[in-house]
Amino acid sequence: MISLNINGRDYSVQAPDDMPLLWVLRDLLNLKGTKFGCGIAQCGACTVHVDGRPVRSCMLPAANVGPREVTTIEAIGQKDSGRRIQQAWLELEVVQCGYCQSGQIMAAAALIERNPAPDDAEIDAAMAGNICRCATYARIRAAIKSASRK
């Protein structure tokens, strides 16, 4: 059995030792907001927070998470940083197909959590691991700035 703390709740799951957190979230806990994109930590669609830090859940075995707190897109709006990012995303109409946006929002929320007023270069550095095929990048940049001003 693997014990996990996700979005403030404790869970016990039966899963193979190498099963990534992504698939535990999606298939065992029905938290489908975290997305499968590449499986090799190249696209960032599966980004979650582990103790507040952005992590690629597609390559992190759930068995290695331990007692650390996992936060997913479903609960990020309960944090001030997440709520501000989600609001800015809607106000600036960042989203197109939306498939990568859970990961983008998790990465952005982690960024403004540790850097309340990032500049373009800091935004680019923090967000470069998240691919968006609709290429909503210019609006992502603008929305992070908008959220960090509030």
Partner 1 sequence: MVAFASSARARAATSEVTSPSAIGGFVRISPEGGISLVMPSVEMGQGIYTAEAALLAEELDVRLDQIVAFAAPPDGSLYAQPLFKAQMTGGSTSIRGFWTPLRQAGAAARSMLVAAAAQAWGVHPNECSTKDGTILHSSTGRVLKYEEVAESAATLPMPEDPKLKSREEFRIIGKSQRRIDTSAKVNGSAVYGIDVMVDGMKTAAVAISPVDGGRLKSVDDNRARKIPGVIDVLRIDDAVAVVGEHYWVARAGVEALDIDWELGPNTKLTTASIRAEAVKAADEGTPIKALERGDVETSFKNATKRVTAEYELPFLAHATMEPINTTVHVRPNGCDIWVGTQTPVVAQKHAARITGLPVDKVALHNHLIGGGFGRRLQADTIEQAVHFAKQVPYPLKIIWTREQDIRHDRFRPCYLDRIAAGLDEQGRPLVWTHRTISGTVRRYFAEDGWPEGKLDKDAVDGAWDSPYAFPAIRVDWVRHDPPVKLNWWRGVGPTHNVFVVESFLDELAHTAGQDPIAYRRALLDANPRAMAVLDKVADAAGWHKSLEPRSGRGVSLHQNFGSYAALVIEVAVAISGEISLNKIVAAVDCGIQINPDTIRAQIEGGVLFGLSAALFNGITFDEGRVEQGNFNDYRQLRINETPPIEVHLLESNESPGGLGEVGTVSAAPALGNAIFAATGVRIRRLPIDRSLLSKRENA
Write out the residues near partner 1 by the rule CB under 8 A.
Answer: 15-16, 19-20, 23, 26-28, 30-40, 42-43, 45, 72-74, 77, 86, 89-90, 93, 95-102, 105, 123-125, 127-141
- Of the pair 65, 127, the CB lying nearest partner 1 is at 127
Provide the 10 A C-beta neighbour count for residue 143.
27
Residue (of 60, 36, 42, 41) closest to 50 by Cα position: 60
Nearest approach, Cβ of 9 to partner 1 (angstroms)?
15
Answer whether 107's CB lies under 8 Å from 85's CB: no
Residue with tokens 């500049």: 119
Residue 8 phi/psi, 5° resolution? Answer: 85, 0
- Of the pair 52, 129, the CB lying nearest partner 1 is at 129
Nearest approach, Cβ of 11 to partner 1 (angstroms)?
15
Nearest approach, Cβ of 19 to partner 1 (angstroms)?
5
